[in-house]
Chains A and B, each alone.
Chain A
Amino acid sequence: MKYNIREGILRRELCGETLLIATGDAKDACPFIKQLNDTAAYYWHLLEQGMDSAEMAAGAAKEYQLSEETILPGLRDFLKDLEEKNYIIAEG
């Protein structure tokens, strides 16, 4: 599944913490700020590169030297949470 990042969502590092901040029209659709842990920040980086969920799983498996089966539940939860909060929009 491919996802698009909602327009107006800004990623910013602040004192080593990764934040998603809703600006412009996105403020009405999403929580104002979301703080990402290291893994979530890495997944967001993959979304920014335009990867679909399968590519993200493969990339994360290689990065963390884990099987895709191990990666998938956490990745799905991450994508589900962000989609429910309107930070990302599923394509198709």
Chain B
Amino acid sequence: MKNRYFYNISLVGVPIRIACLYPHEAFEAGQTDEAPAASAALEDGRIEKARSLYYPDLTDPDIEYTELANAVGDALLPFRRCMFHGTAFLWRGKAWIFAAPSGTGKTTQYALWKTVFGSEIRIINGDKPILEFCEGKSIMVHTSPWRGKEQMSQAISAPLGGIIYLKQAAENRMERLSVKESVLPILSQIMCTHKETETTLQACDAAEKILKAVPVWGLSNKGDADSAILAHTVILEHEEKQR
């Protein structure tokens, strides 16, 4: 099959031409007349190859949409941006990201924060926000067309405050991770096909910038309200110390 649908979308100021086998409503908004600076498409046969990685009830258009995130991730990396797998939300003027492999509880933890702390927080992006590496160590967090199953997204941006890496556990516990402990979790969540050495090196550069700029915590949690309260308390204490 040949790509039949083409979208020219602006992602954090970078116009990217995305070529698809199937139409995707998520790419309809944000289209631009600017000449594309980069392109993204899946290699031939990628959907078939990737099918075994997904739940059997997922359709080919769903698989294409998800797989394209890595291809678009590649396209963004040369422009000092990266796509990051996580749930990003705005709190106290900064963006915070729950990161973890799929199914670990990122959306659950966000929902718990929303239940317990309600108006204090606002969603930025529920699945794959885009990080922009600005002058100095500042990293801005923006939404993207990849919004997750719950379609959580708002057109708000904020400087990254920190990343909370989640694990399911029998008890709630939160601790600041060392750089050594953070390297694999952070690099693993940067969307990249790793087809080419150059983009892999750029993904490593992005991971390094994140690790040097913001704290990373590990939150082992039961998926209950107490875990949200624990995380809220720990980060608040950290923020108070920074003043």
Q: Which residues of A contact B (CB under 8 A)?
A: 10, 12, 14-17, 19, 21-24, 27, 32-33, 35
**Contact at B211–A32, with CB atoms within 8 Å?**
no
Could you tell me if B195 and A14 are in contact, using CB atoms closer than 8 angstroms?
no
* Most chain B C-beta atoms within 10 Å of own C-beta, residue among A10, A12, A15: A15
Check B200 against A21 for contact (C-beta < 8 Å).
yes
Asked if A35 and B204 make an inter-chain contact with CB atoms under 8 angstroms apart, the answer reads no
- Cβ contact within 8 Å between B187 and A14: yes
Q: From residue 172 to 186 of chain B, which have CB atoms closer than 8 A to chain A? A: 179-180, 183-184
Closest residue of B by beta carbon distance from A24: B195
| A14 / chain B contacts, CB cutoff of 8 Å | 183, 187, 204, 207-208, 211
Q: Interface readout for B188-212 with A: 1 if CB under 8 Å, 0 if not?
A: 1000001111001100100110011
CB <8 Å contact, B180 and A10 = no
Tell me which residues across on chain A come within 8 A of B204, comparing CB atoms. 12, 14, 19, 21
- Nearest 9 A/B pairs, CB to CB: A15-B179, A17-B183, A23-B194, A23-B200, A12-B204, A15-B211, A14-B204, A14-B183, A14-B208
